[in-house]
Amino acid sequence: MFESIEVDEAGLVDEIARLERVKSAAAAGQARLTAVLADKRRAAEAAAGVPRAKQCRGLASEVALARRDSPVRGGRHLGFATALVFEMPHTLAALECGALSEWRATLIVRESACLDVEDRRTLDAEMCADVTKLDGLGDARITADAKAIAYRLDPQAVVDRAAKAESERTVTIRPAPDAMAYVSILLPVAKGVGVYAALKRAADTTFDDRSRGQVMADTAYERVTGTPADVADPVAVDMVITDETLLGGDDVPAILSGYGPIPASVARGLVSKAVSDERSRCTLRRLYRHPKSGALVAMESRSRFFPKGLAMFIGLRDQTCRTPYCDAPIRHRDHAQPRHRDGPTSADNGLGECERCNYTKESPGWRVTAGSGENGVHTAEFTTPTRHRYRSTAPPLPGSPDVEVTELEIRIGIAIAEQDAA
């Protein structure tokens, strides 16, 4: 927009700064509107006799869809908005004038979450009443300052929150570049430091041609799986691959179920290891795709138990939760139109969803319809209580429509987390 106008460099920097303030002000505006929406919804549901614990169910997902964000972030946006607008006026004002970004305001709200309303107001005033004090503070300083105030105001609440956080310990996996994966363990700090120290000790006492990082990663794998890192141990994974990629003539990536695309050469490596290792097992199943769109339309039956085959088909077709922007792993393969409203048990009416989204679509006012078009592409339409509609389509299979596609179940030792047993 500025290429054709004569603006000097200082003017360009001023404009970049101005637009940053506009982003903060827009975030403040979204927070105000979100809080009003939550207030209206709660009042309407209370008047209709909905118990308090069930009020605003699914609202986080509505906010997420409107903001093109995942439901998990929608929940954060909703909590952020109600806290800012109803309890933290100074933080809201700092966001509005651009002294805080949306993320930094979120950090302050997060650190104050364990406090009661009165203490929260005190923290709000101390942090943000004088916005000049926020100048030059990065994310880490903002978090540390807010933490220190929260601890001074109510040490017990901070300790209680730490105890609650401990119950949220978990393990997650997400794809990393170059056919690698991050496996993260969320642990209480003492245990987390303990795990890291044990791996470092292994690196300190191992002398071979591996780097410290390699020794630590191999040791973690060995202690978790009980198998040396260089020995393949049967773990079942599902992979979708075109025949041409499998036979070496093509470089179309394969899709590893629960992970995403992997390079053709890596996929071929897994298959050749599986067929040359006698403890491994490799079963094939042909998938049929629509001749024009490449959508998955059918698959060869490998199991006589129909619902299991159907669930597998839906998982392969959808790959991740079908709510727009969600991307969470599929936990439920369920009816789009529920069975109690005469929804059929069929591939067309089936939908892969994460746990959270599956409960959301059962909330009052939500309606989900699903079906395949003439091109074989499966589409789901989500209608929210405010009558807004959002669509999602199932991803196409790898490769072009005229290439045959095969699904392989390979049992081979590879360093990714085992998927939920089907």
Binding piece for Zn ion, criterion CB under 5 A, among 4-12, 130-138, 159-167, 346-354: 346-354
Closest distance to Zn ion from the beta carbon of 74 (Å) = 10
CB 213 within 8 A of CB 192: no
Task: Specify the residue, 65 or 321, whose C-beta has the smaller distance to Zn ion.
Answer: 321
Closest distance to Zn ion from the beta carbon of 356 (Å) = 6
Binding piece for Zn ion, criterion CB under 5 A, among 129-137, 175-183, 263-271, 355-363: 355-363
List the interface residues with Zn ion, window 303-342 (CB under 5 A).
321, 323, 326, 328
List the interface residues with Zn ion, window 256-295 (CB under 5 A).
none
Task: Specify the residue, 242 or 323, whose C-beta has the smaller distance to Zn ion.
Answer: 323
List the x/- string, 356-385, binding to Zn ion by CB under 5 A.
-x----------------------------
Q: In sequence order, what are the residues at sequence separation of 6 or more whose Cβ sits closer than 8 angstroms to the Cβ of residue 355?
A: 331, 332
Place of tokens 């791996």: 199
Binding piece for Zn ion, criterion CB under 5 A, among 84-92, 94-102, 348-356, 412-420: 348-356
| 65 part of the interface to Zn ion, by CB under 5 A | no
Length of the chain equals: 422
Closest distance to Zn ion from the beta carbon of 266 (Å) = 28
CB 398 within 8 A of CB 405: yes
Q: In sequence order, what are the residues at sequence separation of 6 or more whose Cβ sits closer than 8 angstroms to the Cβ of residue 6?
A: none
Closest distance to Zn ion from the beta carbon of 326 (Å) = 3
Task: Specify the residue, 100 or 326, whose C-beta has the smaller distance to Zn ion.
Answer: 326
Closest distance to Zn ion from the beta carbon of 172 (Å) = 15
Place of tokens 């309407």: 44
Binding piece for Zn ion, criterion CB under 5 A, among 46-54, 164-172, 347-355, 387-395: 347-355
Task: Specify the residue, 192 or 338, whose C-beta has the smaller distance to Zn ion.
Answer: 338
Task: Specify the residue, 288 or 359, whose C-beta has the smaller distance to Zn ion.
Answer: 359
* Size of the residue set binding Zn ion (CB under 5 A): 6
List the interface residues with Zn ion, window 159-218 (CB under 5 A).
none
Burial class (CB in 10 A: 0-12, 13-18, 19+), 156: exposed
- What's the rounded Cα separation, in Å, for the pair 312 and 331? 12
Closest distance to Zn ion from the beta carbon of 411 (Å) = 29
Dihedral sign of CA atoms 238, 335, 326, 405 in order: positive
Task: Specify the residue, 221 or 325, whose C-beta has the smaller distance to Zn ion.
Answer: 325
Burial class (CB in 10 A: 0-12, 13-18, 19+), 110: middle
Closest distance to Zn ion from the beta carbon of 98 (Å) = 33
Task: Specify the residue, 151 or 359, whose C-beta has the smaller distance to Zn ion.
Answer: 359
Cα distances (angstroms) measured from residue 151 to each of 108, 147, 184, 195, 352? 13, 6, 28, 27, 43
| 354 part of the interface to Zn ion, by CB under 5 A | yes
286 - beta bridge partners? 406
Closest distance to Zn ion from the beta carbon of 315 (Å) = 14
Give start and end residues of each alpha helix (H) in 205-256. Answer: 212-225, 243-246
Task: Specify the residue, 69 or 102, whose C-beta has the smaller distance to Zn ion.
Answer: 69
Of residues 164, 99, 166, the one with CA closest to residue 134: 99
Task: Specify the residue, 71 or 413, whose C-beta has the smaller distance to Zn ion.
Answer: 71
For 315-371, give the DSSP string.
Answer: HHHH-S--STTT-PPP-EEEESS-GGGT--SSTTTEEEE-HHHHHHTTSTT-EEEEE
Binding piece for Zn ion, criterion CB under 5 A, among 13-21, 121-129, 185-193, 354-362: 354-362
Closest distance to Zn ion from the beta carbon of 328 (Å) = 5
Helices 117-128 and 102-112 cross at an angle (nearest 10°) of 140
Closest distance to Zn ion from the beta carbon of 392 (Å) = 10
- What's the rounded Cα separation, in Å, for the pair 25 and 98? 6
Task: Specify the residue, 285 or 317, whose C-beta has the smaller distance to Zn ion.
Answer: 317
List contacts with Zn ion (CB under 5 A).
321, 323, 326, 328, 354, 357
